[in-house]
Amino acid sequence: MQDTLLEMRSITKTFPGVKALDEVSLKVRTGEIHAICGENGAGKSTLMKVLSGVYPAGTYEGEIHYDGGLAQFRDIADSERSGIIIIHQELALVPLLSIAENLFLGNENAGRGIIDWHETNQRAEGLLRKVGLSDAPTTLVDKLGVGKQQLVEIAKALAKDVRLLILDEPTAALSESDSQTLLDLMLELKAQGMTQIIISHKLNEIRRIADTVTVIRDGQSVSSFDTAGDGITEDRIVRDMVGRSMENRYPARTPKIGERIMKVSDWSVHHPEHANRRVIHGVDFDVRAGEVVGIAGLMGAGRTELAMSIFGRSWGQGISGQVEMRGKPVDVSTVTRAIDNGLAYVTEDRKSLGLILDDTIQRNITLANLGEVSNGVVLNEHAETAVAEKYRTDLAIRTPGVFQKVGNLSGGNQQKVVLSKWLFAGPEVLILDEPTRGIDVGAKYEIYGLINDLAAAGKGVVMISSEMPELLGMCDRIYVMNEGAFVGEMPVAEASQERIMSLIVNH
Partner 1 sequence: MTIAEEKLESPEQGRGGVGAYLAANLREYGLLFALIAIMAFFQIVTDGTLLRPINVTNLLLQNSYIVIMALGMLIVIVAGHIDLSVGSVMGFVGALAAVMVVNLGYSIGVTMIASIAVGALIGGAQGYWIAYWKIPSFIVTLAGMLVFRGLSLWLLAGQSVGPFPREFQIIATGFVPDLLPGGAALAELIDVRNLNVLALCTGIVAAVWVVWSGLKQRNRNKSYGIEDEPRAFFVARIAVISLTLVFILYKLSTFRGLPNVLITMGVLTVIYAFLTERTVLGRRIYALGGNEKAAKLSGIKTERLTFLAFVNMGILAAIAGLVFAARLNTATPKAGFALELDVIAAVFIGGASMSGGVGKIVGAVVGAFLMGVLNNGMSIMGIGIDYQQMIKGLVLLAAVIFDVYNKQKG
Which spans of this chain sit near partner 1 (rule: CB under 8 A)? Answer: 17-18, 311-312, 314, 334-336, 338-339, 345, 347, 352-359, 363, 367-368, 370-371, 374, 376-379, 381-382, 385, 393, 400-401, 403, 421, 425
- For residues 361 and 402, the answer to whether their CB atoms sit within 8 Å is yes
Of 497, 143, 440, nearest in space to 298 by CA? 497
CA 47 to chain centre: 20
- Minimum Å distance from CB 181 to partner 1? 30
Tell me if residue 280 falls in helix, strand or coil.
strand
- Minimum Å distance from CB 324 to partner 1? 21
Q: What is the largest CA-CA distance in the chain?
A: 73
DSSP string for residues in 446-501? HHHHHHHHHHHTT-EEEEE-S-HHHHHHH-SEEEEEETTEEEEEEEGGG--HHHHH
- Minimum Å distance from CB 257 to partner 1? 29
- Minimum Å distance from CB 356 to partner 1? 4
- Residue 258 or 426: the one with the smaller Cβ distance to partner 1 is 426
- Residue 21 or 194: the one with the smaller Cβ distance to partner 1 is 21
- Residue 213 or 355: the one with the smaller Cβ distance to partner 1 is 355
| C-alpha to C-alpha distance for 238 and 203, rounded to whole angstroms | 8
- Minimum Å distance from CB 456 to partner 1? 24
- Residue 114 or 378: the one with the smaller Cβ distance to partner 1 is 378
Cα dihedral sign for 57, 61, 66, 70?
positive
- Minimum Å distance from CB 373 to partner 1? 9
- Residue 91 or 367: the one with the smaller Cβ distance to partner 1 is 367
Secondary structure (H, E, C), 194-263: CEEEEECCCHHHHHHHCCEEEEEECCEEEEEEECCCCCCCHHHHHHHHHCCCCCCCCCCCCCCCCCEEEE
- Residue 267 or 315: the one with the smaller Cβ distance to partner 1 is 315
- Residue 120 or 364: the one with the smaller Cβ distance to partner 1 is 364
Q: Which residues contact 71 (CB under 8 A, 6 or more apart)?
A: 57, 64, 65, 79, 82
- Minimum Å distance from CB 393 to partner 1? 7
- For residues 221 and 213, the answer to whether their CB atoms sit within 8 Å is no
- Residue 273 or 358: the one with the smaller Cβ distance to partner 1 is 358
- Residue 17 or 111: the one with the smaller Cβ distance to partner 1 is 17
- For residues 444 and 474, the answer to whether their CB atoms sit within 8 Å is no
| C-alpha to C-alpha distance for 457 and 451, rounded to whole angstroms | 10
- Residue 201 or 363: the one with the smaller Cβ distance to partner 1 is 363
Kindly report the backbone phi and psi dihedral angles of residue 87, in degrees, each rounded to the nearest multiple of 5, phi listed first.
-105, 115
- Minimum Å distance from CB 467 to partner 1? 23
| C-alpha to C-alpha distance for 66 and 446, rounded to whole angstroms | 40
| C-alpha to C-alpha distance for 11 and 219, rounded to whole angstroms | 10
| C-alpha to C-alpha distance for 260 and 255, rounded to whole angstroms | 14
- Minimum Å distance from CB 384 to partner 1? 9
| C-alpha to C-alpha distance for 211 and 51, rounded to whole angstroms | 20
- Minimum Å distance from CB 502 to partner 1? 35
- Residue 243 or 371: the one with the smaller Cβ distance to partner 1 is 371
- Minimum Å distance from CB 17 to partner 1? 5
- Residue 98 or 341: the one with the smaller Cβ distance to partner 1 is 341
| C-alpha to C-alpha distance for 461 and 471, rounded to whole angstroms | 12
Kindly report the backbone phi and psi dihedral angles of residue 14, in degrees, each rounded to the nearest multiple of 5, phi listed first.
-115, 140
Cα dihedral sign for 255, 258, 262, 267?
positive
- Minimum Å distance from CB 369 to partner 1? 8
Kindly report the backbone phi and psi dihedral angles of residue 441, in degrees, each rounded to the nearest multiple of 5, phi listed first.
-55, -45
- Minimum Å distance from CB 123 to partner 1? 37
Beta bridge partners of residue 84, listed in sequence order: 164
- Residue 17 or 106: the one with the smaller Cβ distance to partner 1 is 17
The alpha carbon torsion through 263, 299, 234, 448 (nearest 10 deg) reads: -30
